[in-house]
Structure 1
Amino acid sequence: NERYFSPSRTVGHSMFDLNQYTVDRLRKAGVTAEGLGRCTYAEEDLFYSYRRTTHRKEADYGRQVSAIVLEKE
């Protein structure tokens, strides 16, 4: 799993590639998957980012919810 970690600008910290990790896990489970290569932090016009908002020390950070529903067949 070391391949998913890369150095951070912050000493003593690492960055984790959650996108690639997730794609790899899905593929391993037999699911066709690919990463989109999008960045919610950088693409401000398209995406909300909690991390971007907190880095800016903005008073309100917005809300978002995600859900996956699995139904019995």
Structure 2
Amino acid sequence: MRKVRDNFARTNNVIQSDKSVMSDGCKSLVLQDFARIFEEYFELNGLPEMEIVFDRGVYKVSVTFEADRVKKFNVLK
């Protein structure tokens, strides 16, 4: 019975993940927006990468990027 439940959960996760897949065009636009914002604080070494996973009823979004340096900025008081 447990194996059936595990297979169901795995299959359900695959189905939900298929629904959550963002088109390449949309993903590209989102990553370009992120890059513009991150460029204010970092010197990026390429575009950010994004992973979207549907887990237990919620979407988990991870954005990663590499930077050559952190830009200096002053905080206004």
TM-score by shorter chain over 0.5: no
Higher relative contact order, structure no. (Cα contacts within 8 Å, ≥ 6 residues apart): 2
When you count helix as a share of all residues, which structure comes out higher? 2
TM-score for the superposition, normalised by structure 1: 0.22
When you count strand as a share of all residues, which structure comes out higher? 2
Computing the radius of gyration from Cα coordinates, the structure with the larger value is 2
